[in-house]
Structure 1
């Protein structure tokens, strides 16, 4: 599907936008944005949407991390809207819709995304793969709370998983065609097994410290 996008747009995104992710924490590197792009395009095939818009929304969705985590979704939307180069391919109305989709992608948002574009990128950003999700959670803790010792890191790790992924957690899934529902059930089963969860944490923690 990506090969059907305008060549100059692809060149711009791949040459100027995606490389910016190298400056972010380990959980939000180039491999993350590429996965979100791939998953967004996959989900887009189920809807009557502008694929170029989906592609760009996914590419820009975490750029706001350059100003910190808390409001990154708002900053990311602003970065997209202020990028004059995008006006070669999109109207003001499209750019505004794309900005809103990015603002709506954050998992902790209490309101549903305002458009199908927001639902697509929000769902794609979930990419619930137990191993990847747990590794990214460890990476985030080590990157943002380096002063914590191993016991404190595990406590943060466990609390984050509980608050986000367990029944009643703030994570919401929006696209029924996504594979995330089954993967979420698998992850919840692992979270409920304290011994197994601790074993996985210990492995990932050591691997990260050793740079594996």
Structure 2
């Protein structure tokens, strides 16, 4: 395998495990709604990568570089979404609280909602957008064959799915769950605050 491709794979792996909105979203949904919601969030994050793969493979990343307002719009939308999710962490839904009291289990999101929060978290994440733009416009040349670009896109998507599925599984493991349960609401609030802070930071850096 070409050394350039190997370098890209290593850089991508490091980027995937770096804490960010996707990690915070997986953490929030896993702790607040359980393992299934966490895994569906991970799947949504991996599918969100398809948005970035599409515009990079078809050359739209060059358009984004030449038209800063498009990227800035993405940043504002993503920032507002993260801030909203962060704030909602401080106000658990009534049904979630009821489920936790009556069943001793976390309230659950619908499968679609859990998937959607993961998908939007990644698709609207300007950090991921900038990473793809940098990767496909600086590291990969216009002459790079389509199969190589698609391979890298698939690797990145599967890498996200694997990593965030592991995060969800670990957070909901029965041994760790007992430890985490004691400080569950505190962790949720800290995670929510981080999401809100990320949203605010991104919003003001986009202007």
TM-score by length of structure 2 reads 0.29
TM-score by length of structure 1 reads 0.28
> Relative to total residues, which structure has the larger helix share, 1 or 2?
2
